[in-house]
Structure 1
């Protein structure tokens, strides 16, 4: 597999077009400009627009991101963008980190050095990883699929090819959101390649197999299913739309950067441990860097469509089916509905389950040090399995 060096460069014309659209955007009416009850606050979004237009410096963000060692490789006909940061230590373990929606590879920017060079950040060099952070197909600077069928399961197969092409026949995986689903599929389909899997989210589509021989649902498991159903009813309209008619939404988000920012920012606020003040958990320039990547890449339609692919190929198991790869799960308090350990253990070999005191859905941004330490701790006893 050939890996070609990659440098981010957005044209001046694209930046000017963004600024023109930001200046000329139309605003909806709101019965309460400060409220988030009906969706993104009008007053918040006006402030975000002003910051994006007058203070946010894309070139500065671009320059910083280009310090990361980035590459593109063609895998199954798609050009896949990824960061590949070699580890600094006696025997780094290969680790692939997968982001989700509405994130991007930028989610992992702060955690990459903590994992690749722990000795430089107060840790033990023996815990080092060779860190690979790909952009999902149709996200960021990865090419969008031109045909249907590229689900989290297909992406897992692509990631195995990517890691093998980098010389890592056996490796570890970590992820949240969609990245958690890809990591689960990796362990399910390619257990011989996986040293272990660490998750900070359990995919919403995950259902263990059940029949008359399996244990009945516990009260804790039934309470989780009720909580998940309530979340879907009150907060799940975005997922239902993206999983059924993603292109209809994409027309609006591809034409209006203000609309795109509204769609993405509302999720960062709702899913982070910010206490209603988004900037407490997600720095404003980090948020706008992520949104800008969606805008400049033109990939919003493909990113939404992945939800449809995952609906058509959910992470459901047959009765009695289990994955032997060791799993570790870190639960952050402001995460979306998370099942109890017993639910996950019905299909996965859970060897570590930890509850954290703070943090939400975007743990790699919100709590990078805590998440990095959890990842190091989980994989430490599994390093003896690493035959590289």
Structure 2
């Protein structure tokens, strides 16, 4: 099936979605954090296959054995994180991973949600699909980023699908679709080049139409924001709006500041004092925190050998950026908890998607910059721990239909993971004006 083939739009209804449950042999489940049964959605289609996570005990035994046999590098020659993840910190995490961490709890949590696979353009797409019990719920597709996964978004399922149990109203409800990006998690690994954010965005529209949604909204952070932006530029029929909590610098930086950043010059005099702070933060990130992207954008296969063979190496590779980007820099355990971090890292290990997930950086570099404006309404939330925090007036070129902009007081790059209730409130507020 061609990726951009037109699909017949079906109006979504409770009866249509419930028929998918019967077709898949599923039943209602309890949403996390609620006491009421909520409908779990499959599609009454041969193209949608139920999925359950079932990791063999042999794979977990192998992981523990590899962790026990880790060969550690020499210690750093500085007293801070400027050379990367500090051995003492990683040894503590790996020791817990090897001796105390329980993947089965994470597996059970995933299997508490309805999961499916569907093939789009030759690649299996894994996704979670939960139907709200509220009749006027708005369909929403949410996309994770790197070094994250669907685990980033699980804590917002309850607040978004059952808002009345989380401080909202029935009019705030969403039907939720959470896919794994190709090459991540339980989605398939593309066997050929070309799966860049534009292609993934088009696949997401196919997915939503295949599930029967003739209108929907999209949300993302990190790569999820880039994919949502791409979807907004494509503006397929039925896409009502997007919300992002990560902004693409190339499309929003003032031209003189962008040029100064490119050439390594100082902040232009045209910038205000507050704008120069933003400029200096961006320059520091490019100079000191962008190496991971440069490597994966040029040599993802080379770094892949180490992270495919060593779980401790994979943990260091992912932990380094998690630690950088949380609201508590250098202390991600305080923001997320040790088990949550290891749920995510273990998913990468068990699926061997450390190498394949990195290829999205290469694919994006090969595709080139897409600097055209997003054509649909856009909502933006700026979290204070985010790498780039542009003011509202910088967004007009990229988002001429900006319908919502808010700066919140807590949370970092992994907003849904770190602050699920606040994040959910922002999603409700951001999409409020596009509900019909």
TM-score above 0.5, yes or no = yes
TM-superposed CA distance for 1:258, in Å, is 0.2
CA shift digits 1:183-234 (9 cap, x unpaired) = 01111102532111111101345468989xxxx9962567645542331111
CA distance in 2, matches of 1:298, 1:152: 21
CA distance in 1, matches of 2:99, 2:425: 37
What's 1:167 paired with?
Answer: 212
Say if 2:251 and 2:398, in contact at 8 Å, map to a contact too: no
What's 1:382 paired with?
Answer: 434
What's 2:191 paired with?
Answer: 146
Question: TM-score with structure 2 length normalisation?
Answer: 0.82
Say if 2:281 and 2:387, in contact at 8 Å, map to a contact too: no
Give unpaired runs (5+ residues) of structure 2.
1-44, 257-267
Change (3 A) 1:42 1:237: same
CA distance in 1, matches of 2:277, 2:166: 40
CA distance in 2, matches of 1:95, 1:217: 42
Say if 1:80 and 1:134, in contact at 8 Å, map to a contact too: yes
State whether structure 2 residue 410 is matched by structure 1 residue 358.
yes
* One of 354, 357, 369 as aligned partner of 1:300: 354
Q: Which region of structure 1 is more displaced relative to structure 2, 23-32 or 171-180?
A: 23-32
Say if 2:132 and 2:161, in contact at 8 Å, map to a contact too: yes
State whether structure 2 residue 421 is matched by structure 1 residue 369.
yes
* One of 290, 293, 298 as aligned partner of 1:239: 293
What's 1:82 paired with?
Answer: 127
Change (3 A) 1:377 1:265: same
State whether structure 2 residue 375 is matched by structure 1 residue 324.
yes
Say if 1:34 and 1:42, in contact at 8 Å, map to a contact too: no
Give unpaired runs (5+ residues) of structure 1.
none
Q: Which region of structure 1 is more displaced relative to structure 2, 277-286 or 222-231?
A: 222-231
State whether structure 2 residue 115 is matched by structure 1 residue 61.
no
TM-superposed CA distance for 1:345, in Å, is 1.2
Say if 1:208 and 1:346, in contact at 8 Å, map to a contact too: no
Give the alignment of 1:1-388 within 5 angstroms.
Answer: 2-31=47-76, 35-206=80-251, 219=271, 224-225=278-279, 227-317=281-371, 321-348=372-399, 349-384=401-436
Say if 1:330 and 1:354, in contact at 8 Å, map to a contact too: yes
CA distance in 2, matches of 1:133, 1:168: 14
TM-superposed CA distance for 1:122, in Å, is 2.6
SS in 2 for 1:336: coil
Change (3 A) 1:148 1:205: farther
Say if 1:88 and 1:125, in contact at 8 Å, map to a contact too: no
TM-superposed CA distance for 1:59, in Å, is 1.1
CA distance in 2, matches of 1:172, 1:18: 39
CA distance in 1, matches of 2:61, 2:337: 24
TM-superposed CA distance for 1:35, in Å, is 3.5
CA shift digits 1:285-330 (9 cap, x unpaired) = 110010001000012111001001111224432xxx5333111111
SS in 2 for 1:311: helix
Change (3 A) 1:6 1:230: same
